Amino acid sequence: NAGVMQNPRHLVRRRGQEARLRCSPMKGHSHVYWYRQLPEEGLKFMVYLQKENIIDESGMPKERFSAEFPKEGPSILRIQQVVRGDSAAYFCASSPGTLSGELFFGEGSRLTVL
């Protein structure tokens, strides 16, 4: 399967723990986007990364959230000291980088904070 792979699909954390969500883009794609979908809401942009670079992180909360896309390996969205309000579905998407290409989404990672 050459699609966007996200893991874990489901993650349960207690308040104060750390959550790490991983995303492997489609083969040949060097651009990764992270979105969050809260219950009853749409897809909220969080961050846009290229290999080893953060291009736009205007949607990321200022504290506790970070993202990286290293030269080797998947992109990681890291949430430190999780709170109940972080419970959401986190979707990763990738694109080949052309300005007019579409995004290809993964199945999402559902984070539940107890």
Partner 1 sequence: DQQVKQNSPSLSVQEGRISILNCDYTNSMFDYFLWYKKYPAEGPTFLISISSIKDKNEDGRFTVFLNKSAKHLSLHIVPSQPGDSAVYFCAASAVQFYFGTGTSLTVIP
Site for partner 1 in 49-88 (CB under 8 A): 55-56
Q: Which is nearer to partner 1, 16 or 97 (CB)?
A: 97
Cβ partners under 8 Å of residue 94, min gap 6 = 4, 23, 25, 26, 29, 31, 32, 33, 103, 104
Q: Does 39 bind partner 1 (CB under 8 A)?
A: no
> Please, what is the minimum distance in Å from the beta carbon of residue 95 to partner 1?
8
- DSSP letter at 74 equals -
CB 86 within 8 A of CB 74: no
CB 91 within 8 A of CB 104: no
Q: With contacts defined by CB under 8 A, how many residues of the chain interact with partner 1?
A: 23
Region near partner 1 per CB under 8 A, out of 13-21, 42-50, 66-74, 75-83: 42-50
Q: Which residues contact partner 1 by CB under 8 A?
A: 4, 6, 33, 35, 41-45, 48, 55-56, 91, 93, 99-100, 102-108
